[in-house]
Structure 1
Amino acid sequence: MKRVSVLFISILILLGMLAGCSGSAGGPQEESSGDSSAQKGKITLNFWTFWGSETRRPVIEKIINDFNQSQDDIYVKHTFLPFGDIWTKNLAAISAGNPPDVIINDINSVQHRAKNNQSTNLSEYIKDDSFKDNFYPRLWDTVLYKNEPYAVPFNTDTRLLFYNKKAFKEAGLDPNKPPKTWDELEAYAKKLDKKSGDRYERIGFYPLWGSFGPPSWLMNADNGKGFLSKDNEVQINTPEKLEGLKWLKSWNDRIGAENVNAFKAEFGSEQSNPFIAGKVGMWVDVATFYTQIRDFGKDMDFGVAPMPAKTSDARHWSDGGGFVAEIPKGAKHPKESFEFIKYLTGEQAQTYWASKNFDNVANKKASEDALSKLSGNDKMVYKEAVDNLQVTTMNPVPADAPDYQNKINPLIDAVLLGKEKPENALKKAQSKVEQSLKK
């Protein structure tokens, strides 16, 4: 009886997944994106995104409407799915032979989907070799698998250092001179610290808060080199990364793990973000973090700067992610889907997206054009983000080792917790990833 019940429940779950893929009740939320009479005689494309917020949904739907009205052959229908569900449902839909025509997907895992035959090779539809020149080269590289494109870059991000100018003044620091090196960053942080006895009222800076984790800092320390090269050469156990890991651990040793954890336990978003609340003097995040400062910071006096470089003669290396427009394998209208993708990643649509969402777009010309539509702090932060793309690295997940980071992260965590020596951790991580790639 128990086996029958388990089977029955499994069937219900499977049926629920299939229902979600078909857009029925409880599944994706479809949007007509225009007058239904406009669909007559046109090929209908189902476009899946996770952009359902009050800010982003109106923007993407205007872009869709503009495309629908720009020609007489294709009608695009927008389907919204939550961020946590969209890619799982996409894989289920591919397996069922009924995928969407176009989907917004993760930029750093394009190779993995290409290798597993989950996306469409776009070489057949890209007639002009100069098409790739519309996009930042590092972004275009992420969509290639065996030197052929399986997606088109849509947007990206980069990490910047936000700093509280009011706190700088209180600490005797020049609010117009943010730290440029790791040594300066640490010196500024100590001056920004505010304590009452043994208790911190403000922590000047902690490198692992925000969105710049250990892999990012070790890349910054190693002249922009990630854990893997473009040719999948493993470059984890290097002298530069070892020095960077020791530096990260020194922050835990100085501030104290208990203080770090106590502060982090109170973290929240919007007004409760520790930087916006004035509890942290400097903070690393993506450029769009500025929208939280703007909306919830009550005229906060802040500055933004590139990531501090390891030394004065090094570059201000940052890292980024982003999303692509992709045609799932088995889509019924790939030619028409690519026509929509060209519009979606073209200058007009990308400029509109950037200026309304304050987001780094992949189209180079559109990224520059968006600056002319901004002013004040909006323009200051966006310009810094655009300029920062020149020192922003991408770290695509290699098709032959999709889980390589899972072999590294626990060892780095053990170092930060004082349970593993940095030298041993990087040596073990190097060996594990090398073995994984050999397999």
Structure 2
Amino acid sequence: MCRKIIFIMIALFLLASFLVIAGGGKKEEEKISITFWHHEPPAHRVKAFQDVIDKYMELHPNVQVTQEAVPWEDAWPKTLASIDTGTSPDFQFDLPDLNISAYQADGIIPVDDLVEKIDKEQGYFKSVSNPYYHHGHYWGVPIWHIPFALIYRPSYFQKYLGTTKPPKDWNEFLDYAKKLTIDTDGDGTPDIYGIGIVAGKTLCTAEQIWAFMAQTGTTLFEKDGTVNFNSPQAIKALQMYKDLFKYAPPGATGWAWGELEMNFPAGTIAMMPYFGAILKSFYEQKNKDLASAPLPYPKDGKKGTLVYPAALMVFKTAEEKGEEHLNAVKDLILFMMEPENNYILTAVQEPGLYMPATKANLEYEKFWNHGPVAEYKDFVKPIAETVEYGSLFGFTYGAVNLAIGSISGENVLAEMVQKAIIQNVSSAEAVKWAHDRMVDISSK
């Protein structure tokens, strides 16, 4: 009887040991599931993300990574709703003003360790990292930037100006725009317009006017965050924009990105301050009539343009899932920033549009050897170099006034342009209106 009891006890012990071991094995096999949002729904962009994801999961079979494409028009409400309900993804691609909105909603965590590690190993350009630094921390990990340059048709320059050289200052810029506004069929209406700039109440207008304002030294805020927009520099830039607009298509008062990207390849526009996204359509059509250059600036001004830095913000939900999960999220982000992966997210995903955020990624050979980039290298190079002197409106000194999110969301700069161009208000009055509106928003 005693032996039987001992036998049963040994059997139970062995069974318990087996269950512990089996349970431990099951735990080891459990996958870490990471979800992130981006805002690039076109199929070829989704594929670029998936290529990087697949590379990562092949190296890390215990991690399951899922992407979700959230259109930009849904980004703000969906982000804030997810923070409010505790259903945020682990991280999300963002822009500085969306990042600020998420910070103000108390939904994200500092990422100093990631930014400092990448900066040490690859060298961040300050124009892309500064907008994500405030309250003593970095709140976003810059991954690429989207810059403006002068995009133009060299064949038009050669045919109508006798040169393929871009304008070097504002005087030449105006002269070029005037001479390139041409009635080719003699019906009294221009068939080619010298400049592609817009005046709709959209972010596109704010982007274009800032490209000019950056060249005059305009700022929205002092270093302490005080609004200082009403200045001779801002007035001068707006007046230049207003003067140039005489040579823009008449419907451009309601245009935005889509109309510019349709009309430039169609030959309606000779030149425009814009992103390099136009490269893809020219490459697919095997059209080499495409060039870029730094935007011309006033003789008493400086080199300047718009640079939109995109980053990754990490939500508190990732941190709440535990240290192991958060470390996996950070490891994936570092993986995305490695040159052999980052070039897929820039050159491969959308050649000419997304430019590297670090010196190492900008110098990476595969970035420059990728098909469209290699074939249009002279077009891409001036665009990529804007990161050394470009800026984003409201972030000249970093995120010194968090009201910039609301100022941008309300399209104050675009409405200022509309007042000057559509309502024919003087540039000085329009700038003062914008300044006063920024003060009102900042005081709330």
1:21-61 superposed Cα distances (whole Å, 9 cap, x missing partner): xxxxxxxxxxxxxxxx9x94331111222333232122111
**Equivalent residue number for residue 11 of structure 1:** none
2:379 is aligned with 1:381: yes
Larger mean Cα displacement after TM superposition, 161-170 or 375-384: 375-384
TM-superposed CA distance for 1:218, in Å, is: 4.3
TM-superposed CA distance for 1:389, in Å, is: 1.3
Match of 1:96 among 85, 89, 92: 85
**Equivalent residue number for residue 173 of structure 2:** 185
2:397 is aligned with 1:404: no
Distance 1:410 1:108 in 2: 18
1:180-236 superposed Cα distances (whole Å, 9 cap, x missing partner): 11111111122212123531111122443877745314423423x332345323232
Distance 1:263 1:416 in 2: 8
SS in 1 for 2:43: coil
2:357 is aligned with 1:349: no
Distance 1:41 1:373 in 2: 40
**Equivalent residue number for residue 161 of structure 2:** 172
Aligned residues: 394
2:358 is aligned with 1:363: yes
Structure 2 unmatched runs, 5+: 1-25
**Equivalent residue number for residue 239 of structure 2:** 246
2:104 is aligned with 1:106: no
1:211–1:285 CA contact under 8 A, matched in 2: no
Distance 2:76 2:435 in 1: 30
Distance 2:406 2:277 in 1: 28
User: Map of 1:2-401 to 2, 5 A cutoff?
Assistant: 40-71=29-60, 73-123=62-112, 128=117, 130-131=119-120, 134-175=123-164, 177-195=165-183, 196-208=186-198, 213=207, 215-223=209-217, 225-252=218-245, 254-255=246-247, 260-261=250-251, 273-296=262-285, 299-311=287-299, 314-331=301-318, 332=321, 333-357=325-349, 358=351, 359-369=354-364, 370-374=366-370, 376-395=374-393, 396=395, 398-401=401-404
**Equivalent residue number for residue 19 of structure 2:** none
2:96–2:310 CA contact under 8 A, matched in 1: yes
Q: 1:226 to 1:132 in 2, by over 3 A?
A: farther
Q: 1:218 to 1:278 in 2, by over 3 A?
A: closer
**Equivalent residue number for residue 421 of structure 1:** 426
Amino acid at match of 2:53: I
Distance 1:262 1:51 in 2: 26
Distance 2:121 2:414 in 1: 34
SS in 2 for 1:242: helix
Distance 1:126 1:221 in 2: 29
- Rg bigger for which structure? 2
Q: 1:55 to 1:378 in 2, by over 3 A?
A: farther
Q: 1:244 to 1:50 in 2, by over 3 A?
A: closer
TM-superposed CA distance for 1:128, in Å, is: 4.7
Distance 1:182 1:88 in 2: 40
Larger mean Cα displacement after TM superposition, 346-355 or 179-188: 346-355
Amino acid at match of 2:219: G
Amino acid at match of 2:314: I
1:99–1:328 CA contact under 8 A, matched in 2: yes
1:100–1:328 CA contact under 8 A, matched in 2: yes
Q: 1:81 to 1:287 in 2, by over 3 A?
A: same
Q: TM-score, normalised by structure 2?
A: 0.79
2:148–2:274 CA contact under 8 A, matched in 1: yes
2:195–2:247 CA contact under 8 A, matched in 1: no
Q: TM-score, normalised by structure 1?
A: 0.79
Distance 1:348 1:262 in 2: 40
- Percentage of pairs with the same residue: 17
Amino acid at match of 1:199: T
TM-superposed CA distance for 1:71, in Å, is: 3.2
Q: 1:265 to 1:361 in 2, by over 3 A?
A: closer
Distance 1:149 1:111 in 2: 11
Distance 1:127 1:137 in 2: 12
Q: 1:411 to 1:164 in 2, by over 3 A?
A: closer
Q: 1:277 to 1:247 in 2, by over 3 A?
A: same
Q: 1:249 to 1:262 in 2, by over 3 A?
A: closer
1:205–1:281 CA contact under 8 A, matched in 2: yes
Distance 2:84 2:141 in 1: 23
Distance 1:169 1:127 in 2: 47
SS in 2 for 1:77: strand
SS in 2 for 1:85: helix
Q: 1:330 to 1:41 in 2, by over 3 A?
A: closer
TM-superposed CA distance for 1:393, in Å, is: 0.6
Q: 1:425 to 1:320 in 2, by over 3 A?
A: same
Match of 2:438 among 408, 433, 436: 433
1:350–1:363 CA contact under 8 A, matched in 2: no
Query: How large is the RMSD of aligned CA atoms in angstroms?
Result: 3.1
TM-superposed CA distance for 1:127, in Å, is: 7.7
Distance 2:44 2:257 in 1: 24
Q: 1:276 to 1:162 in 2, by over 3 A?
A: same
Amino acid at match of 1:184: E
Distance 1:334 1:400 in 2: 30
2:88–2:315 CA contact under 8 A, matched in 1: yes
